[in-house]
Amino acid sequence: MNNNDGNISQCPFMGGTQKQTAGGGTSVRDFWPNELKLNILRQNGEASNPMAKDFDYATAFNSIDYAELKKDVNHFMTDSQDWWPADYGSYGPFMVRMAWHSAGTYRVGDGRGGARSGSQRFAPINSWPDNGNLDKARLLLWPIKKKYGNKLSWADLMILAGNSAMESMGFETFGFAGGREDVWEPEQDIYWGSETVMGENEERYKEGELEDPLGAVMMGWIYVNPEGPNGNPDPMGSAKDVRETFGRMAMNDEETVALVAGGHTFGKAHGAANPDTYVGPSPHGAPIEEMSTGWKNTYKSGVLDDTITSGIEGAWTPNPITWDHDYFDVLLNYDWELTKSPAGAHQWKPTAASNAKKAPKAGDANKTQDLMMTTADIALKVDPKYLEISKRFHTDHKAFEDAFARAWYKLTHRDMGPISRYLGPEVPKEELLWQDPIPQGTTLSDSEIETLKEAISNTNLSISQLATTAWASASTYRGSDMRGGANGGRIRLEPQKSWAVNNPYELNKVLTILEAIQKEFNGIVSMADLIVLGGNVAVEKGVKNAGYEYCCSFYLWKRRCFSRTNRCCFFWLFRTESRRI
């Protein structure tokens, strides 16, 4: 029975009488829109956890024969399957796109999105138009996921596949780290925008500025519309969008150019025909018989040269499955003119006078097709800053390769937290600035802790001052990308020390006294530890004043200046041992 047309009268269970479904109609939140949302507390809760209670992903991942895993992934790249054959005989570009789009949802505003949780498997992300046909990429990887089971998360596998794909095509990556634990249900608390229609963006621009914390220019896209702003093929307008969206993903201009050029060295875009005519609904809206796949394409064979994804058609370079430096040759040395793909999308082609090289057809290397650029690619040629970087990379191949390797590593690992969380033999030894490196911490003995607590207690600092400072220091932590928190003692640095919410005048009093204690202490203690220890002293004093005896044990996790450790504390940690006095 086909009930996709929405005619409920065809359904024998509904009898054609039900007008509203359970959960529909006016909600409590419609009446009280400011009601506190508590659903995040039960999201991915223990009761629905498919893993055993004592399951530890880090231990499981480290038990993998990593050399065998890499061999399996590398073999997969050229093991083309009949149901979804590989363009040019290699799944490499497809896996690069899957990994890129898994990581590319990350945004610095709230640390949400990114590759760390494997959310690309779930709605809405699995059904965004920009992720068209990536359901097939994940399905192709299923035999590998099945072989390694819970030892290998989908989140890690998707990024590893992207890394291995580049290596299989001749690129030397900067490294890879495992350690991403899968969620097992959609992360419904992430705000992706207010639009109810994919591809719209009117709700996210207020007075011309992209709404915080959103990182994409429209609903259902990772970054920008490749055709140009709102489908308008305006390269300078596209450059503005590219700079804004990549900046919100923590990328500067050089990293942006490197990522666009490096990523588009591989593969092609697919726009064989009009998607409105031939492409079915996305996975989340597809009929049950398609079972986690979507975008069914009825145009001819539906695969290879007949594939429809973005609507843009063609490859960026003459060798789409080989790492080379042709992208900048093609972009800078050819003149480009506006055209449309067979699907009707705006794109650019080399002028006849450019006498441009061609790319092979995806399904038949003996046939060729014109190269293409998107409006977002042309932006790298018309924006003065992007053009300057592009010219430098064009002449300095080693600089380009290094910049792309580092930018790709940052893209795919930025949301994982400190390097102490990284797993596997391919973790680079070099610690990068965006990983918030800090010096090795020191361990305090019990007697040293008691000495410091006594010194803090003997100051004129109030319970409120100590507790407020410790709380403010810890409360910047966010679990979305493991950033902030008490470790690092950043509250004594800009911008935190000048935040109005931290009451800078009072904060400076506390920090000045704690710095004096640090200087006089016959040993080594970080300000990060002193601030948290001060909070413990405040808690103990406050409880004692209320008539209880209370021991607030100080769990030293080597809080160091300028960063955080494996799992940074949101609250100072303590163990309760209390009794009525």
Exposed, middle or buried by CB within 10 Å (0-12, 13-18, 19+), for 439?
exposed
Tell me the residue type at 178.
Answer: G
SS3 content of the chain, % helix, strand, coil (to 5): 45, 5, 50
Task: Enumerate the β-bridge partners of residue 75.
Answer: none
CA angle 115, 117, 119 (to 5 degrees): 80
Question: Residue 469 is encoded by which pair of tokens?
Answer: 């400072």
Q: Report DSSP letters for 143-181, one per residue.
A: HHHHHHGGGS-HHHHHHHHHHHHHHHTT---S---B-PP
Question: Residue 127 is encoded by which pair of tokens?
Answer: 């059904």
| Phi/psi of residue 579, nearest 5 degrees | -150, 155
Cβ neighbors of 52 (< 8 A, separation 6 or more) are none
Residues forming the active site? 101
Tell me the residue type at 113.
Answer: G
Q: Report DSSP letters for 492-529, one per residue.
A: GSTTGGG-GGG-HHHHHHHHHHHHHHHHHSSS---HHH
CB atoms within 10 A of CB 177: 21
| Phi/psi of residue 339, nearest 5 degrees | -150, -170
Would you say the C-alpha torsion 278, 279, 285, 289 has a positive or negative sign? positive
Tell me the residue type at 559.
Answer: R
Closest-CA residue to 458 (of 534, 532, 523, 515): 534
CB atoms within 10 A of CB 41: 8
CB atoms within 10 A of CB 495: 8
